[in-house]
Structures are given as structure tokens and as C-alpha cells.
Chains A and B, each alone.
Chain A
């Protein structure tokens, strides 16, 4: 059992566990603190400054994402501190002066959402002249999946930290300095010429939609319905959300980190290889090739019986070792077990293999 104690946030007594940050306690208690650079899979960076709060005894505002809760601590968020509210108002204004805005003067939303937009709506912002930061993208990056718009980037570095701390791929990095700082790669090469595995985790963690899926329809988050499913590309069982608009899957996103087995992560297949769903060549029912050489729709019962009959005939003609079984990496452990059971128990052969064993 961890030790628990009480802290006060905006006057409300909250129970905290040893080692928790102020932000973690606040979130559990339903006290809203805005964040941009926070992702529970990553070490706290305290870089976006959105979550600064007043902590008793501290001269400076402190990032609640990194500040450890301590017994008896008294914390004030923007709800009870004019200082924190003013900080947020001016900070959001600064972010907006460095951001692509729509005709209403609000941060633009892409298919990947934009947390800055909602936050801006909650603040009394100043109209600051655009700063026109010389932040660059990587023109000529021919990778088919990941697109970066520097004008929507807030340099929270979640993408680069994710690539490093979670994936250990280190394909992208903060590069340059000061207002020129941007997200880059070694030599500013396209992602295909780096160690990038195109997992798309950078898109998933981006809070402002500066990173989006290139080929996906640009449907806004509120225009889609999310349908939770299990990825069928392998046996891990990653959970993923099909984003459906007008009965069509327009993209795939990963569930909130910490809620499923894959902790918000997906691989290139899970995240990007969903085109087959609506592909015209896709089989949607079992088929048997007839005497005429053409495929004909049938039922599962008939199809399975037909296949079993065929295999039995081969075994009769050539003996048990005349037949071999290759299972798929897309099968679960249980399915692979059943496959070897068919081979060994039903057909009495040791010829059983699985593609990922090579």
C-alpha cells in the first residue's frame, strides 16, 4: 500500500498518493488544468507551461505535471488564482501569435484535433501580431503516412520524446534553436530515409494537429464515430478505434494511453493499413472455386467441409507427411495451438510451421 496524504487544490481537500504529481491528483479529482506537453507515457517535460500553478511557499509558478504532491500542500489553479489565470491568458495569446488561425481568430483544427483551440476559448486572449517564426518543415519528405505542418506546431516535443522514450526509434528530434526550433531529422531527410518505423505514434501524441495522417480524409474529430475493435494484424490484441464517418472507416486512432493493452500505441499496420476494409477486391464471404475455374460464393459450413475433404484426399494419396501446415502471425496463440492440434492429432504429421518462426 502506498502512503496517502491530503493536499488542497483551490481549497478542495484531495487525497494524494506518495509519488504522484499535482496534475495527477487534480485530474483524478476532476479539477481541470490545461496541458499541451503532457503524455502519461513520457517523462514530464514542463515545457509547454500551460499547467503552471501556484504552490504555497514557491516564489515562482510551478508546472503541476512535474511537481510532486506533498502532505499539506496548498495549490491554486486558474480557478482560484488571478495570477495563474493571467498567465494562461497571455501564454495562450503568445501561442496563438505563433499559430495558424481561422477566420474567427481561433487556432485551426485538423483531423487530429487541436487542444489549443479549446483552451483559447476558455481564456481572455490578447490580439498579438503574428510573430512569423521561421520554423520549417521537411519539404520533399515522400513518406506516405506522416505529414507535419510547422505552423500548427507548439514545440511541446511530445513527438520527439515519444519517438525516443516509448519507441526507442529516435528518428525525429528538436532541431535548431530559439524561434527557429522545429521538428527535424538527421540531415532533414524524409522519414523513409531515417530509422522511422512509421508507427504514427507521433501523430497520436501531437496535441495540436501539427502532425496528421497524409492519406486520411480530413474529417474533424467531432464528425466521426469511434468504434473500438481489436487489430487483426497479429496476435497481440492491440485495441484500436475505427473512426467512422457515413459508414466508412476514414482513419484509425489508438485509445487513450493507460486504458488498453497497447497503452495508446499502434504499429504501422494497425494505424495505417486499413484501406482493405472498403477495398473492392476484398472477399466478404467464403468462396469455392468450381469446376469452371471461377470462384462461387458459398456458406462457411460448405467451404470448411470442402477444404477438409480436399486435405483428407491428399493425406490418403500421399500419406500423413504429404501434407504440411503453415499458420499465420496474424493468429492468436490459441489459434496457433489449434493449428498444430489439427496437424499432429488429426492428420498425424509433424509438418507444422508458423510464418513468424522463420
Chain B
């Protein structure tokens, strides 16, 4: 049910400011906003960052697990720290990652992280110097809506958040709506395990992202532009604020707003993100209608990923064809994140369609004897290392039964128990399922329970129905999370059957 109320949108930030969800805080917020107490309680209890109480957070994502996060938790607890194990913190290149009580990153890194070096020719060029001449925006104004759209279409730019949807279709979709009120939203709620490219982009190239957003707003006719930045990303949010200040008059035509995440992976899903912006539980909406026609406050909304926006200035300045030519199997360059058993985890800007071999070469080579990899976050399941020469792109990986997703690549060497790896990933999905639909809510818990049972008893019978349940999760779930949550286990069963024999 659409509920429009400006006050409702303040509910979550107010709770956060007051220190989290307590009966008293909920009453205070209700009195100030007029939103019923139960709704505030319901929304607040959805988000882990609103639980309140200072503690150290240790990441239990796959890359951190293989770099010893369990040991780190034990060590911190032994020192008397109040420790909470949390879903991937997006610091996989600092594995095992942890945040202190004030959400500042603690450094326990076991590897030396890196990024692609400065190269002015690169479309995003993370290591390059920021530039605030906003020449692309100026050129975009000259090109006009049709001219810009032509370049975006020619560039072949696909959404970098995970779905790989052609950008120009989305832009056109919003621009063509009857309703004159439209919004642009930047999805910076980066939380897919093993993904940290948006983090680096915000820290290093907010200039490009902001310029891209302004160009998008020009095309779709939006006056209000929103950021939705992951709650744990304080430094990143500050970097964006600073960049916006430096952009100054170039972007004064728009009202820029900040929303912060409150600790829920699912809010990276665009409709859950919109619900969260509206002050509600981050439960994905049914689609259709899609956000381009019915988005924030029910208005046409362009929701795109940080990296997608950051590609836009290059496309306008250099032309769509030139961007497209960067790609190998699909258009453009791509920020690949890599972590796990490699020597130099980090973000590397490579041609889209590069292989794991090429990516690992950029990242200093394998650590140990590689056995498996996960090409696009937890959602992409696992592939055997024999597929190391598969182009890492949207269509090819989908054909291979996996996905590029957010390009969060994790390499696992032969010291890893694949059943254990599947259990870790399923723990993540069970924790992060929104709980709205049964296939995902019950299915992810069921699979997590069963693989745990297998690990405890060594009896493969525990996994007898895993494929059926996985099939139903994919067919029956509302959103993309539920559809892929079975993959870590089902893929591991398929490619690594020896890891699930009687033991």
C-alpha cells in the first residue's frame, strides 16, 4: 500500500539518531511524526544497525572467513570485546575485516591490497586525479536529451549493479513517463558479499559519479537527486558530500539528498531500497510496476548503481562507441573486485569480458592451488577453477548458470571445504532474507540447516531435497535474492560432489 508522508521518510534516521529501536525511542518518533508506533517498530526491527548498543563488528563474508575471521572473533572475545559477527562489510580486500564501535574500519589485513594504477585513458580510472570542470555535463547540455540518449545507447552501457540491464532503455523509460515529477536515485547500498567497487568509486571518483547523475537527471527531467549510501560507509558518504561541495555551481540546478542504509543487504534491491527510503521495512515490491514508472513516492524513478553513473562522463566526453570498444565480449570497461586466495585483492578496471586468469594476473597471482571461484558475489554461486578462461560478462556467465552480478570475484584454493563454503554463504542469505515470501524465508533457512546437519553428521541424506528446494526458491521467490540464495549449495553439489560424500 502506497503511503505518502514526508514524515514517514524521517522515521529511520530519527531512530538511528536516538540510538536504535527501543520502546521509548519508538514512542518519541511516533509522537513527532504521527506514524503509528507499530509501523515504526516493524520498520526499525528490520535493520541491524538500528539494534543499538556499541560493539565491534567482524565480517563473516566468504573472503573474510577464508582469511580467518573466526579466529579474529575468538581473539577479540578473549580480549573482552563485545563482538558481533555481521554480513559482508564490503572490505574484502582487508580480510578479515572488522569495524570498531564507531563503524571505523579496523585493519587486520593479511594481504596487500591494490587497485589499477593511474591511466588517464581509462573510463573510470580510480587512481586518477579528481576533476571538477564537469566538461561532460556541459557537453551534455549542448547535446540535449536525444543526443545524450544516442550516446548512451551507442555505448552499450549495462547497469553495473548486477542485473546488467541496458542503461538507455531505463533512461528512456523514465524520460517518457507522463508524470512530470521524476527522481534520480543512486544505489550506493553496496552489500553483495565480495563487492567493494562502489566503495572505491565513492572514495576516489565521486566527481565522475556526481557528474553522471547530473547528466541522468538532465535526461529524465528530475529536480531531486538521492543517494542511498550503505550505513557502514561513513567515510564514503563524507567523500561524496565533499565532492558535491567541490562540484558547486555545476550541480546547483538540482536538489541533492542523502539517505543512509541501516543495515540490510536486501536494500540493494532497487524496490526494497525505495521502500527503505520511504521509511518502511526493506521488503521488495512486486514487479511490475517497475521503478521507472512507479518508484520513489510512486513517481517515475531512475535507480542506478554508483559505477553505472560513473561511466557516463566518459561516454559523453569521448563518445559511446569509444566506451563500447573498451569491452571484450560486452561493452565498456568494468570494475572487477577480487578477493580470497589471491596475492593482491582489490578493484581492477579491465575490459568487460576479461577472464579470471586475466583478473588474477592483475591481482598478483593466486595464493596456493586454486580450486573454485565465485564470479559475482554470493549470489553467483561457485564455479570450478577449470572455467577460469570463461569471459566474466553478463550474458556468458548467465549461460554458464552463474552471473556476473556486481563482479565481486572470490577465489578459493584447495584448502577450503566446499561444503563449509556453501554453509557460510547460506548463513548470509538466511540472515539477509527479508522474510516476506516463503520460498526464500523458509528455503534459505532449510538449506542452511541441512548443510549444517551434513557437516555435523557426515550423512549426505540431509541434502536429499536440496535441489528441489533450490528450484522452488528460484521459481517462487519475489525478488532476486530469493532466486539465487540456493546457488552456493546447489552449485557446490553440482561441481564439487566429492565434497558432499559420506564422511
Q: Which residues of A contact B (CB under 8 A)?
A: 43-49, 52, 60-61, 63, 66, 83, 86-87, 90-91, 93-95, 97-98, 126, 128-129, 131-133, 154-155, 157, 160-161, 164-165, 170-181, 184-187, 189, 194-195
Contacts and interface: CB of A to CB of B under 8 A. Distances in A.
B439 interface: yes
Contacts, number: 154
Nearest to B22: A187
Contact of B41 (A49, A91, A155, A186): A186
A175 B433 contact: no
B88 to A, nearest CB: 16
A256 B264 CA distance: 39
A173 B434 contact: no
A49 B437 contact: yes
Majority secondary structure, B binding face: helix
B449 interface: yes
Given A90-B471, A133-B445, A154 B438 contact: yes
A175 B442 contact: no
Nearest to A163: B38
A179 B435 contact: yes
Nearest to B266: A177
B182 interface: no
Contacts of A45: 286
A46 B281 CA distance: 16
Contact of B433 (A157, A170, A179): A179
A284 to B, nearest CB: 43
Contact of B450 (A52, A61, A129, A165): A129
Contact of B476 (A52, A165, A175): A52
B446 interface: yes
Interface in B23-41: 23, 26-27, 30, 36-41
B472 A181 contact: no
Contacts of B433: 177-179
Given A90-B472, A155-B438, A186 B449 contact: no
A174 to B, nearest CB: 5
A275 B419 CA distance: 59
B93 to A, nearest CB: 28
20 contacts: A43-B1, A46-B478, A49-B476, A60-B475, A63-B286, A83-B475, A87-B472, A91-B439, A91-B476, A94-B469, A95-B438, A131-B442, A131-B445, A157-B436, A177-B46, A177-B434, A177-B435, A178-B435, A184-B41, A187-B41
A161 B3 CA distance: 13
A176 B431 contact: no
Contacts of A177: 45-47, 264, 281, 432-435
B272 to A, nearest CB: 11
A173 B433 CA distance: 18
A195 B476 contact: no
B319 to A, nearest CB: 34
Given A61-B475, A154-B438, A161-B1, A129 B38 contact: no
Given A48-B438, A52-B476, A91-B438, A175 B45 contact: yes
Contacts of A154: 438
Nearest to B446: A131
Nearest to A135: B435
Interface of B: 1, 23, 26-27, 30, 36-42, 45-47, 264, 281, 286, 430-439, 441-446, 449-450, 453, 462, 465, 468-469, 471-472, 475-478
A94 B446 contact: yes
Contacts of B435: 155, 174, 176-181
A187 B438 contact: no
Given A46-B286, A155-B441, A173-B39, A178 B476 contact: no
Contacts of A179: 430, 433, 435, 441-442, 444-445
Contacts of B431: 178
Nearest to A196: B38
Given A49-B437, A93-B468, A128-B446, 19 more contacts: A47-B436, A90-B468, A90-B472, A131-B445, A132-B449, A133-B445, A154-B438, A164-B1, A170-B39, A173-B39, A174-B435, A175-B41, A177-B45, A181-B435, A186-B40, A187-B26, A187-B41, A194-B38, A195-B36
Contacts of B439: 49, 91, 94
B38 A94 contact: no
A160 to B, nearest CB: 8
Contacts of A126: 465, 468
Given A94-B469, A170-B36, A176 B449 contact: no
A170 B1 contact: no
A129 B1 contact: no
A87 B474 CA distance: 10
Contacts of A83: 475
- Most chain B CB within a 10 A radius of its CB, from A154, A177, A194: A177
Contacts of A86: 471-472
Nearest to A126: B465
B475 A94 contact: no
Given A175-B45, A177-B435, A184-B41, A91 B478 contact: no
A45 B478 CA distance: 11
Task: Determine which residue in B26, B36, B40 has the highest number of CB atoms from chain A within 10 A of its CB, and name it.
Answer: B36
Given A63-B286, A187-B26, A178 B432 contact: yes
Contacts of B471: 86, 90
B442 A61 contact: no
A185 B472 contact: no
For the complex of A and B, 8 pairs with smallest distance between CB atoms? A173-B42, A181-B435, A170-B36, A187-B23, A186-B37, A90-B472, A173-B38, A186-B41
A63 B477 CA distance: 11
A175 B434 CA distance: 11
A174 B442 contact: no
A173 B286 contact: no
Given A94-B438, A155-B435, A186 B446 contact: no
Contacts of B432: 177-178
A131 B446 CA distance: 6
Nearest to B462: A129
A185 B46 CA distance: 13
A154 B26 CA distance: 27
A160 B38 CA distance: 10
A113 B433 CA distance: 29
Contacts of A164: 1, 39
Contact of B46 (A63, A66, A176): A176
B442 A94 contact: yes
